[in-house]
Structure 1
Amino acid sequence: MWALSVFFAVSAGAQGQAMSLPELIRLLQQQGHLILYSTGLVSSSWQVSVDTVDLDALEQALHLHQLELRKQEGVWVITRAEPAATGLPPPAAMRAEPTVETVIVTGSIHHLPAVGPASTVYTYSAEEMAAVPTLASDALRVALRLPGISSVGVSAKPRIRGGLEDELLVIQDGVELMEPFHLADYHSAYSAIDYHTIESLDVYTGGFPARYGNRMSGVMDIRNLWRDDDYDTDIGVSSFADFINTRGEFGVQHPASWLLSYRQGDLAKLTDYIETKSGEPRYKDSTARMNIALTEKFDVSFGGAYSQDDIDFKGETERASSHIDTWYLWAGADWQPSEALRNRMTLSWLEFERKKEQRSFDTEPKGGFMDYRQKIQRLALRNDWNLLHGGTLLEFGWQAEYNAGDYSNTSVIDRGELAAILGNQQLIARDISPRPDGFSGGAYFQAEWQLNSRLTMQPSVRWDFQDYYLQRDTEYQVSPRLGLAYDINDSTLGRLSVGRFYQPEGIQELQAVDGLTQFYPPQHSDQVIAGIEWQRGRFKFLGDGYYKRYGAQKERFENIFNPFVLLPEMEPDRVGLYPSKALVKGFDLDGSVSFNEPLSGHLRYSYMDARDRIDGQWLDRRWSQRHTVNADMIWQRDTVTLSLAVTWHSGWHTTVLPEFVPMGTVIPVQSVLNNTGLRDYLSIDIGARKSWELGSARVQVYADISNLTGRHNQAGIDFDIQDVPGGYEITPDQETLLGRVISLGVILSF
């Protein structure tokens, strides 16, 4: 860690105005220039060197990338430069982007970072994701290194600012995804989206725009890649994934582009934390997409995706299987009736099917079986409008969905004496088959305007409803939000965001696997975020303080000793937690430095306190890691990339029981819940990439090593129970997480 500190200290003495192109745009916006651009046109990896920060410098930098500035209704818009006249329409890959495309303050496509008051958002290009070392070379895991994220390296799904894992919304090309992770029944250890097909990833950790609904903590918004370089096809082989993706264009009168991808692999090396001696956790996923420009102002796009988990684990006394199939079909239409107005309509179909079986052959009478089935269908229609009028940005839209679910749970379980000591139900016999169905939807409106040369305001509101709740009336929610931004000086921006965020249980979130047959009313979170952004030359600093107050909390089920087990629903420590409220507060600090080449780095610190109110007591959440430090250094030159990343944080919490429990004693869960902190977590990760140009082809090799030192980070504590005179002797058994994980791969592009 000291080396990283020295690196930042030495770098502070560097001179010059070297920065990325988006950073140059941001500095100009702070001077009062209103500039609108698309991440589809302006890459965050493009570097510039300027003597003076002015519009002339921006125009010169844009010219190098065949882009230009145009002034429209008082706003500078970055577009593609007009091609030389050839008598033929430009191909789809080079056709000018629509002037207004998802006009949100700090959204996933068009950015106004200097005046974006509401959101805390981090944007990654595909190149930036690949440069950071990640477990199993799963580039979407880059989000786990952001400030405010709780993680012990197992799940690829981030817990954002103290929230639960299900408080994350994942969207791909405007379509909401359901369980977009492989090993979904075992902590979602690997993302189900091949990062080689991704153009950009936006991660919102707070105050996200009103166009995103029904989640309380964060958003991952993914844009798919149509073309990144001169190569049409990539074929890759690695420790965890074998893949092929190909893309291309066709048509002159109606230019079109297409993308196909297929991936499969074995994740056995990612499941050591559940301690099975044999297992076959195989997966596959595929995607097909096409875009056609019917006219200069009207595009259509459509596609499909498929994901499959085929997982079987066999231990000495336990067996488990998880088979999940997910299908997506979608079609979209983009219409731009004028330079200032854009409309997008998206129709999507989802089918999700899960078969989960568990068997325990433990010492009698403990043991049993569970057969669980889940089938979800969803038809969704979404319409989004964006309007740019003078200096005012407007965004509004609606969505409607029909949802149908079919659940079944047949189980007979004896959880043993330890469950009885916790006051938990020891003997369980279930045969339930709820079938919810109905409509859901909502609408939103968001405006943004500058009140004066320094102050910008962004009010917004959402309205949502659900009527698929069993034996209950339709639920309605109204979510007001307000964002403010103030330009303190040329290099400093202050931000404030306040709002209410609702989260109903989705049709797929009925907790039938734990025996529930009813949905809970929608939860809500009232949030306040105050932030500051400072940037000068190569250096950038972000700071956020946040306060989240939760209400109407649902019951949730956790394994309070060790969640990383093979049969979680059958374990004696599986308990229902029903907080009356929850409170999360903390702050995030993020410092970065970048050069033209070769070095760049980040140093991030987070403080977080996340607690539930249960039976009148404030209790720590298991993942409330009080202090967190993330640091990385990336060295890039020509065809070589080397990277180092370090993650340290306070240990998660677990529940520890007394060594002796008298016969007939019941220990209330809330009296011992999360009463012990585990050892601090530490992981040192390294990565390397090298490519060679071979005629018309390119070969790239890469390696990522996670937990380089093989540190035995703690997962939790299991307990062995033994009858002794007068009661029970309880012996703790420390459990550990993943050790060193090596990922090697090679990619051929042509």
Structure 2
Amino acid sequence: MPNAIRSMIGCVIATVACLASTVGAQGTSAQRETTFSPLRADAPPAAVAVPVTLVLRDVTLAAALEAIGREAGIGLVFDRSAPGLDRRVSVRETRASAAAVIVRVLDGSGLRALVSPTGQVVIAPRPRSSGGAAVGGAVRDSASGAPLAGARVELVGTRYATVSRDDGRFTLGRVPAGDYVLSVAQIGFRPARVPHVVVDDAEASAIDVAMPRAPVPLSSVVVTPGHFGLMQPTVGAQQTMTRQQLEGAPQIGEDIFRAITRLPGIAGNDLTAQFHLRGAPQDELYVSLDGMELIEPFHLKELDNALSIVDVKAIGGVDLTSGGFSAEIGDRLTGVLTMRSIEPRTDRTHVSAGLSITNARVNADGGFAKGRGGWVLSARRGYVDLAMKFTDATDGFKPRYGDAFAKAQYDLPWGGRVAVHGLWAADDLNFVDSTDSAVRSRYRSGYAWLTWDDGVGDRLRARTVLSTSSLSWRRGGLDFSSRREALASVADRRTHHALGARQDWTLDVAPWAMLRWGGDVRRESATYDYLDWRRDYRVDATHTDVRFVYDSTVSAVAPDGTRYGAYVSARMRARDGLLAEVGVRDDGATWERDRAINPRVNLSWTLRTGTTVRAAWGRYSQAQALFGLQAGDGALDFGPIERATQRVLGIDQTLPKQMRLRVEGYDRRLGTVRPRWVNVVGDIDAFPEVGYDRVLIAPSAARARGVELFVSRDDGARFDWSASYALASAVDVLDGRDVPRPVDQRHTLRGDWSVHPLTNRWRLTVAGLWHSGSPATPQSVQLDTVYRANGFDVWTRWSAGALASVRLPAYHRVDVRWTRYFDTRRGRVSMFAEVFNLLGTQNERSLYTNVDFRGTNATFQQGTSHQVPRIPTLGVAWEF
């Protein structure tokens, strides 16, 4: 019999069964009308909520349904000839509700279950998809029944996400037909998951989610001020930016580090992905992925580290602490950036592929071992030269880069989890311009690590990380003059290898007290093989002759040693709303022949619901990295351990209409600062160590302080926005006077505004940035006249002028990004169009001076180099 006829007969039989059931019901109670509605696993009638235990292997769907009916003692009506009932299925359920088992076995069969209030079940063909149905509902306190506002609601693995309004209601808009998992999270309540939310065409789904109160565990309470959570809500902290907001924000290269710069207290420039946190350089930030510390996590080093090596699609959650972090993190002065990879889907394989003018990527995740195990794969290939065609960069600049990430995890039978991870990144560049420079470089980095999370009883938990990493640099080339004469040559080879182990323990002493302790040790080795030469000129005392002189730097060292750290801290809930953590940390490195003991104190005080004050005081230290010698400057001795004291105070306030306000003040003082070689003019140079503006800065102290304000609103409607203001100062103390650091931006304003329908079918985001001018160092030009028998020559030498003696004009930029999603039968397609620097603003980056000779006259012309101009970007992705 043709399938179409069979399907029609199935519909007729199902309809007759429904009518017969209705007539029977009317015969017994004339005032009660029996209706059939789609069977839901989360709220079924009592008759089909009975628990069943079944083990079936490779049976037909029809046989499985009959077995479920017998086990539950319910009647199921269906036509055996209906398409899909002959498919083979396996069932393994232990005390699961009959409704949930029925919904699961029907998933993907083209059939659905209809149920009456009395528990009569009819299996009928699912209507052809015509666009889905509206999905909404309400979130409430299971104990009091009071509505819960601000709960994060999402259909797992989809773009459908929102927050509940003041009355507890939420709307996800029109959702395509299918079987979904609904996730709800709210601080102070146990996270809720509603499996098998079945959406049928034209039948709206109203979901009532009752959330039981759950005291936030001490280990989950955020006690550090300056904490920002991105992408993934947690039990103890509000989310600053959702995944939809972060991925929909304008950003060159779809880069997680660039997206983070939208937060207050962060400064950077258009070209680089690395950022300065509260006036500190990038290397003072502790960066980790799934417990592994990342060293040099950037691509395109000749472009000032333009992109990070971690694909944003592989990231499941991010936590940034901009100051006052507690004792478990050491050997860093300023902040902590913790990234977590995505949790894989274990029910099926999920694949995403994307293409833009900056990179091509593919991501996949899935499960194994009947859902106990999961895996994640991510790979990117970059070709940023296409984007650079929109800038003033030469066509000959064609870098190649790529990265890959892999993870496999397994949930142990007794409750622990073991995971293995790998991260690899590569960069290659071959560039020749006879009027500028010739560059050839090759960078490789690789990480492999194992994590083991487990517990001993209910109160003691441990995490172990075993790791290995390897980095290698090879770069070389020449700098040319305008006369195509070689001015400098560089040959640089470096390697770094490390083996490490880390263990962290947490003991719940009582509901109001917790102890944490742990340590890490890492054995490291590095090699430096460096050679450069540079040409200069000398004019004799009579100004009648000039000669060339050459200077060279040779560095060949292979340091090794052990870095170690240990800590202990106690966290206590002193009274309702008041929580304190006191800890101490010991850090050191054998190559420093020194150690630092750093006490730290953190306080969190919830004055009332929605108002929390946080404070931190602590001492912090950072040894010079074994890989951090400035070999190109001949600096082959490790500097002293840098030491700082931080004080941070902040208030987090929840306002009406789902608005949040944060105000923080900080003060960081460095008493010991290592001397460092830097290029102070600000030009981008492939070989900065031979640059004319290379100078040694040796501060006696340094200080960073400021006040930050951040306000945001996301009420689950069609608009969300955020705005921030920062008043900041970052200075080095040189010869008794305060000299502003290059990122000393006194006033900074940021704003993001997004509009989207309830379904998030599309999103339009406009972002703006304004900050006061950064300090700049002008060029100094020296002219030397050499007299000849028939005239004279003029030789020109550039050098750095007075350090940070001028200010650039204020910076301002507007970006826009539009993203569109298309739901198809084979997954979801997304497209985006973005314009970076929409208004084409020419923001100044540095100052330069040109000299124009006309006869015996010399004219000095001062100009400015600019940041990135307007750059349009397009991209498309397919998820299935």
Task: Report the TM-score, using the length of structure 2 for normalisation.
Answer: 0.70
CA distance in 2, matches of 1:22, 1:683: 43
Counterparts of 1:514-663 in structure 2 under 5 Å?
514-537=633-656, 538-637=658-757, 638=759, 639-657=761-779
CA distance in 2, matches of 1:321, 1:413: 18
Question: Do residues 460 (structure 1) and 569 (structure 2) align?
Answer: no
Q: Percent same amino acid at aligned positions? A: 24
2:190 partner amino acid: I
Q: CA deviation at 1:314?
A: 2.5
Question: Do residues 305 (structure 1) and 423 (structure 2) align?
Answer: yes
The alpha-carbon distance between structure 1 residues 727 and 367, as it changes in their structure 2 partners (threshold 3 A), is farther
2:432 alignment counterpart: 314
Q: CA deviation at 1:64?
A: 8.8
Choose from 382, 395, 401 the match for 2:522. 401
CA distance in 2, matches of 1:579, 1:44: 52
Choose from 451, 455, 464 the match for 1:332. 451
1:684 partner amino acid: V
The alpha-carbon distance between structure 1 residues 724 and 370, as it changes in their structure 2 partners (threshold 3 A), is farther
CA distance in 2, matches of 1:578, 1:19: 62
1:373 partner amino acid: R
2:703 partner amino acid: L
Question: Do residues 133 (structure 1) and 250 (structure 2) align?
Answer: yes
Unaligned segments of structure 2, at least 5 residues: 1-135, 170-179, 197-213, 233-242, 540-547, 787-795
The 3-state SS of whatever aligns with 1:129 is helix
The alpha-carbon distance between structure 1 residues 21 and 585, as it changes in their structure 2 partners (threshold 3 A), is farther
Q: CA deviation at 1:174?
A: 0.1
Q: CA deviation at 1:567?
A: 3.3
The one-character-per-residue Cα deviations of 1:291-311 (angstroms, maximum 9, x if unpaired) are 012313222110211100112
CA distance in 2, matches of 1:146, 1:287: 26
Kept in 1, the 8 Å contact 2:302–2:685? The answer is: no
The one-character-per-residue Cα deviations of 1:611-631 (angstroms, maximum 9, x if unpaired) are 111122211111101110000
Q: Which has the higher contact order (CA 8 A, sep 6+)?
A: 1
Q: CA deviation at 1:393?
A: 3.0
1:513 alignment counterpart: 632
The one-character-per-residue Cα deviations of 1:212-238 (angstroms, maximum 9, x if unpaired) are 221112221100002379761011111
2:20 alignment counterpart: none
Q: Which shows bigger deviation, 518-527 or 408-417? A: 408-417
CA distance in 2, matches of 1:50, 1:183: 47
Q: CA deviation at 1:745?
A: 0.9
Choose from 479, 493, 504 the match for 1:360. 479
1:465 partner amino acid: G
The 3-state SS of whatever aligns with 1:137 is coil
CA distance in 2, matches of 1:645, 1:20: 32
The alpha-carbon distance between structure 1 residues 602 and 415, as it changes in their structure 2 partners (threshold 3 A), is farther
1:196 alignment counterpart: 313
Kept in 1, the 8 Å contact 2:271–2:303? The answer is: no
The 3-state SS of whatever aligns with 1:128 is helix
The 3-state SS of whatever aligns with 2:580 is strand
Q: CA deviation at 1:278?
A: 1.4
2:343 partner amino acid: W
CA distance in 2, matches of 1:68, 1:737: 41
The alpha-carbon distance between structure 1 residues 264 and 21, as it changes in their structure 2 partners (threshold 3 A), is farther
Kept in 2, the 8 Å contact 1:103–1:395? The answer is: no
The 3-state SS of whatever aligns with 2:638 is coil
The 3-state SS of whatever aligns with 1:145 is coil
The alpha-carbon distance between structure 1 residues 515 and 289, as it changes in their structure 2 partners (threshold 3 A), is same
The alpha-carbon distance between structure 1 residues 478 and 460, as it changes in their structure 2 partners (threshold 3 A), is same
Question: Do residues 440 (structure 1) and 563 (structure 2) align?
Answer: yes
The alpha-carbon distance between structure 1 residues 81 and 550, as it changes in their structure 2 partners (threshold 3 A), is same
Question: Do residues 146 (structure 1) and 284 (structure 2) align?
Answer: no
1:112 partner amino acid: V
1:706 alignment counterpart: 836
CA distance in 1, matches of 2:561, 2:140: 44
Question: Do residues 78 (structure 1) and 190 (structure 2) align?
Answer: yes
The 3-state SS of whatever aligns with 2:438 is strand
Kept in 1, the 8 Å contact 2:681–2:779? The answer is: no
Q: RMSD in angstroms over aligned alpha carbons? A: 3.7
1:687 alignment counterpart: 817
* Bigger radius of gyration: 2
The one-character-per-residue Cα deviations of 1:253-304 (angstroms, maximum 9, x if unpaired) are x811011111101122566878444111110101111001231322211021
1:78 partner amino acid: R
CA distance in 2, matches of 1:19, 1:66: 13
Q: Which shows bigger deviation, 603-612 or 332-341? A: 332-341
The 3-state SS of whatever aligns with 1:513 is helix
Counterparts of 1:69-468 in structure 2 under 5 Å?
78=190, 111-113=220-222, 116-125=223-232, 126-227=243-344, 232-252=350-370, 255-268=372-385, 275-315=393-433, 316-362=435-481, 367-388=487-508, 389-414=510-535, 427-468=550-591
The one-character-per-residue Cα deviations of 1:319-341 (angstroms, maximum 9, x if unpaired) are 12331101111111111222332
CA distance in 2, matches of 1:630, 1:371: 42
Q: CA deviation at 1:529?
A: 0.8
1:649 partner amino acid: H
2:878 alignment counterpart: 748
The 3-state SS of whatever aligns with 2:841 is coil
CA distance in 2, matches of 1:209, 1:705: 40
Unaligned segments of structure 1, at least 5 residues: 1-17, 54-62, 70-74, 85-99, 106-110, 419-424
Q: Which shows bigger deviation, 365-374 or 548-557? A: 365-374
Kept in 2, the 8 Å contact 1:129–1:140? The answer is: no
The alpha-carbon distance between structure 1 residues 68 and 533, as it changes in their structure 2 partners (threshold 3 A), is closer
1:675 partner amino acid: S
Q: Which shows bigger deviation, 177-186 or 586-595? A: 177-186
Choose from 467, 475, 483 the match for 2:602. 483
Q: CA deviation at 1:154?
A: 1.6
1:535 partner amino acid: T
2:78 alignment counterpart: none
The one-character-per-residue Cα deviations of 1:351-384 (angstroms, maximum 9, x if unpaired) are 0001121311215887110111110001010101
Q: CA deviation at 1:667?
A: 13
CA distance in 1, matches of 2:139, 2:288: 26
Kept in 1, the 8 Å contact 2:780–2:801? The answer is: no
